[in-house]
Amino acid sequence: MIAKQVLYSGRVQGVGFRYSTKQIASGYEVTGTVKNLPDGRVQLQVMSYDADELEAFLAAIDESNLGSLIKEREVTTIPAMTGLRGFVIER
């Protein structure tokens, strides 16, 4: 299991970023969460059994209409999340 956290900055809040990310996730074998942070960034935590699938999902976000809204992305490897099913928008 591989898990990553991506912090997106730019014009990423109030533009449907979380909803669009969830829609993109539905096409991949990934599990995770996406939420707005108080500082204006969006936090994505995602995991998959297949590293290539995870990277393809992250690339799909960049190549979607969201790509033009992203100014920076900070990607880190994190421990696998437990007790999570599906892909969830956190409030």
Residue 26 domain flag: yes
Alpha-carbon separation of residue 63 from 5, 44, 49, 74, 85 (angstroms):
18, 16, 22, 17, 25
pLDDT bucket at 82, cuts 50 / 70 / 90: confident
Residue 68: domain span: 2-80
Residues 12 and 42: beta-carbon distance below 8 Å:
yes
Q: What is the pLDDT at residue 91?
A: 85
Residue 74 domain flag: yes
Domain count for the chain = 1
Residue 87 domain flag: no
* Residue 71 DSSP code: E
Average pLDDT over the chain reads 96
* Order of all β-strands in the sheet with 2-10: 70-78, 2-10, 42-48, 31-36, 87-89
Residue 61 domain flag: yes
Residue 45 domain flag: yes
pLDDT in tens, 36-73: 999 999 999 999 999 999 999 999 999 999 999 999 99
Residue 27 domain flag: yes
Residue 89 domain flag: no
The domain that holds 44 is classified in CATH as 3.30.70.100
Write the DSSP assignment of 25-70 as a string of letters: HTTSS-EEEEEE-TTS-EEEEEEES-HHHHHHHHHHHHHSGGGGGE
- Across the range 30-40, mean pLDDT stands at 97
Catalytic residues: 18, 36
